[in-house]
Amino acid sequence: MWALGSRTWTLGLTALALILLLLYGRLAAQLSQLHPATLQLTTARRLSPNLDVSGGGWGGGPGEGAQSLLASGGGGAFSLGADFDPSRAVIIYNRVPKTGSTTFIGLAYDLCATNGFHVLHVNTTKNSPTLSLTDQVRFVSNVTNWDQKKPAIYHGHIAFLDFSRFGVLRQPLYINILREPLERLVSYYYFIRYGDDLRPHLVRKRMGNKMTFDECVARQHVDCSAQHLWLQVPFFCGHHADCWEAGNPWALEEAKRNLAHHYFLVGVTDQMEDFVALMEFAFPSLFRGASRLYRTGKKSHLRKTAQKFLPSEETIAKIQSTKVWQLEHEFYEFAQRQFQWARRRTLQTLGDGGANGRVVDRGQNFNFEKIKPDVYVCVCMDVHSETAMLWYDVLPYVESRTTYHFL
């Protein structure tokens, strides 16, 4: 008799365990549908049943407890919810050549060990900015699944690649820096002839060629052709064939769309310090100390072209009359307006407001209120039934409920 009873109990417990496992799976699926704020409020309910989210927090001002919890992610550390985890963030910096990219990425390399993230250079064969279809699949797969290297910043001279085309749900964050198109071309022109102060002894491909940029334009030489000017637009346009057709208006519009919808931040070369500050305030866990390092270290002066001659007014007018420059300049102005808008909305300068002023984040200017209904997620057991029955539900929180055991 005892053996039979013991066997019955064993079968009953096994069945109960299976039921709980099934319920857990269904509960997890339903939890994934809830807004992160709801989940945070649920956590708050469990930690402090006296929390009042409709007005008056934990003894503070109106809603201070709930607002503080939501703003901090429930644990005091900044969090962007289940869909974005800073500890697993992937940032892609698809660097446009001669825009100051070495300066910025140098800061990342200096900070990565201290701040606990990885920096990886994407080196393409013959410095090609576009990838084959198979390499696109490999690149997306590696960046998405290489968990051991997260959080990470990938950087390289590579055109924009839309990860959503490959069914990736957790998108990387794109960033970039742009430069006035003619300035960028002139810098590149003299860079391949005279090199820079980063690697002064490296022989460049046009080393020894003394032709000035003015002479190049007058002779219509390939080094100052429209193809070399057409670079920032296609880098943002991406991997469509029309992106790389110099002067293509569709490519310009596609580049604008990608900047607006896929890039977290695009800075401009002559305001690098503000770009660094914005990245540090947005992602302090990654870029903590970047602004100080930029101001006090050598990174702000990294990689200056060794010798450069400014173009004449005649040359400038000739370049600016071309369709390619006009489209490139329109894109640069579009990016610059967005950067200035983001800067004004995010940063403010304390002190005299001049060069000696301290740049700070404007701080949080929103909060959550009037959150209804109060939601509590539970796995419930009817303790009054002769047969134990388990189910889960999403219920309004009622502190006096006695027929449920909240787990």
pLDDT of residue 237: 98
pLDDT-based confidence at 156, cuts 50/70/90? very high
Mean pLDDT, rounded, for 168-177: 95
Task: Give the percent of the chain with pLDDT over 90.
Answer: 55
Is 286 inside any structural domain? yes
Average pLDDT (185-192) is 90
> Distance between CA atoms of 323 and 206, rounded to whole angstroms?
27
Judge if 5 and 26 occupy the same domain.
Answer: yes
pLDDT tens column, 38-73: 444 443 343 334 434 333 333 333 333 333 333 333
Verify that 190 and 336 share a domain, yes or no. Answer: yes
Residue 311 and residue 389 in one domain: no
Q: What is the predicted pLDDT for the residue at 73?
A: 38
For residue 352, the model assigns a pLDDT of 66
204, burial (CB in 10 Å: exposed 0-12, middle 13-18, buried 19+)? middle
List, for residues 348-387, the tens digit of each pLDDT value: 988 765 566 788 999 999 998 888 887 555 555 554 554 4
Q: Are residues 117 and 4 in the same domain?
A: no
> Nearest 5°: phi and psi at 377?
-95, 130
Q: Do residues 11 and 109 both lie within one domain? A: no
CB 199 within 8 A of CB 289: no
Report the domain count for the chain: 2
29 has a pLDDT exceeding 90: no
Judge whether 198 lies within some domain: yes
Catalytic (active site) residue 157:
yes
Residue 162 within any structural domain of the chain: yes
User: Is the pLDDT higher at 98 or at 387?
Assistant: 98
pLDDT digits (tens, 9 = 90+) for 270-288: 999 999 999 999 999 999 9
Q: How confident is the model at residue 154 (pLDDT cuts 50, 70, 90)?
A: very high
- The answer on pLDDT for 26 being more than 50 is yes
**Confidence at residue 275, expressed as pLDDT on a 0 to 100 scale:** 97
pLDDT at 281 (0 to 100): 96
Could you say which of 118, 121, 155, 301 is catalytic? 155
User: Which H, E and C letters describe 129-175, residue by residue?
Assistant: CCCCHHHHHHHHHHHHHCHHHCCEEEEECCCCCCHHHHCCCCCCEEE
Mean pLDDT of the chain: 79
Query: What is the mean predicted confidence (pLDDT) over 14-35?
Result: 64
Verify that 212 and 92 share a domain, yes or no: yes
**75 in a domain, yes or no?**
no
pLDDT at 49: 41
Residue 290: per-residue pLDDT: 96
Distance CA(38)–CA(376), nearest Å, equals 8
Q: Could you tell me which of 81, 95, 69, 77 has the C-alpha nearest to residue 284? A: 77
Give the end-to-end CA distance of the chain in Å, rounded to a whole number: 35
Same domain, 29 and 145: no
Report if residue 64 sits inside a domain.
no
* 253 plus 341 within the same structural domain: yes
Q: Residue 309: what pLDDT? A: 83
Indicate if the pLDDT at residue 299 is higher than 80. Answer: no
215, 302: one domain: yes
Q: Which of 208-212, 235-239, 241-245, 273-277 has the lowest mean pLDDT?
A: 208-212
Q: Which residue range(s) make up the domain with 185? A: 86-361
Q: Residue 197 sits in a domain of what CATH number?
A: 3.40.50.300
The pLDDT of residue 380 is 53
N residues, the chain? 407
* 288/395 same-domain check: no
Do 386 and 313 lie in one domain? The reply is: no
Evaluate whether residue 93 is within a structural domain.
yes
Please count the other Cβ atoms lying within 10 Å of the Cβ belonging to residue 8. Answer: 10
For residues 235 and 159, the answer to whether their CB atoms sit within 8 Å is yes
Same domain, 127 and 20: no
Which entry of 35, 118, 121, 157 is annotated as an active-site residue? 157
Whether 114 is in a domain gets the answer yes
Higher pLDDT, 251 or 35: 251
Neighbouring-strand partners of residue 196: 305
For residue 218, pLDDT over 70 is answered with: yes
For residue 208, the tally of other CB atoms under 10 A from its CB is 8
At residue 376, the pLDDT reads: 56
Query: Binning pLDDT at 50, 70 and 90, where does residue 401 land?
Result: very low
Environment class of residue 299 by beta-carbon count within 10 Å: exposed (0-12), middle (13-18) or buried (19+)?
Answer: buried
* Whole-structure pTM value: 0.71
Query: What digits encode the pLDDT tens for the residues 300-332?
Result: 555 566 467 899 999 999 999 999 999 999 999
- Inter-CA distances, 275 with 22, 193, 236, 237, 282, Å: 49, 29, 18, 22, 11
Asked if the structure places residue 332 within a domain, the reply is yes
